[in-house]
Amino acid sequence: MDQTPLGLFLTDLFVPGTSLAEKIIRPIAVYLFLIVILRVGGRRELSQMNAFDLVVLLTLANAVQNSIIGDDNSLLGGMIGGASLVLLNLGVNWFLYRHPSLEQRLEGEPTLLVKDGKVQHESLKRELITVEELLAVIHGQGVDSFEHCAEVILETSGTITVLARQPSRDELADQDIKERLARIERLLADAQTRISNT
Residue 111 has pLDDT above 60, yes or no: yes
DSSP per-residue codes, 27-63: HHHHHHHHHHHHHHH-GGGTSS--HHHHHHHHHHHHH
pTM score? 0.56
Q: Computed over its alpha carbons, how large is the radius of gyration of the chain?
A: 29
**Arithmetic mean of pLDDT, 152-168:** 83
Q: Which residue has the higher pLDDT, 8 or 33?
A: 33
Sorted by where each begins, the domain ranges of the chain are 5-107, 111-164
pLDDT in tens, 129-144: 889 989 988 998 888 8
Mean of the per-residue pLDDT values of the chain: 81
pLDDT tier for residue 120 given thresholds of 50, 70 and 90: very high
Fold that domain 111-164 belongs to in CATH: CRO Repressor (3.30.240)
pLDDT value of position 82:
82
Report residue 122's pLDDT band, with 50, 70 and 90 as the boundaries.
very high
Residue 121 has pLDDT above 90, yes or no: yes
Q: What is the pLDDT of residues 37-84, one digit of tens each?
A: 877 766 654 555 666 666 777 777 777 777 777 777 777 777 888 888
Query: Edge-to-edge strands of the sheet including 160-164?
Result: 118-119, 111-115, 149-154, 160-164
**How far apart (Å, rounded) are the C-alpha atoms in residues 156 and 106?**
10
Maximum CA extent, the chain: 108
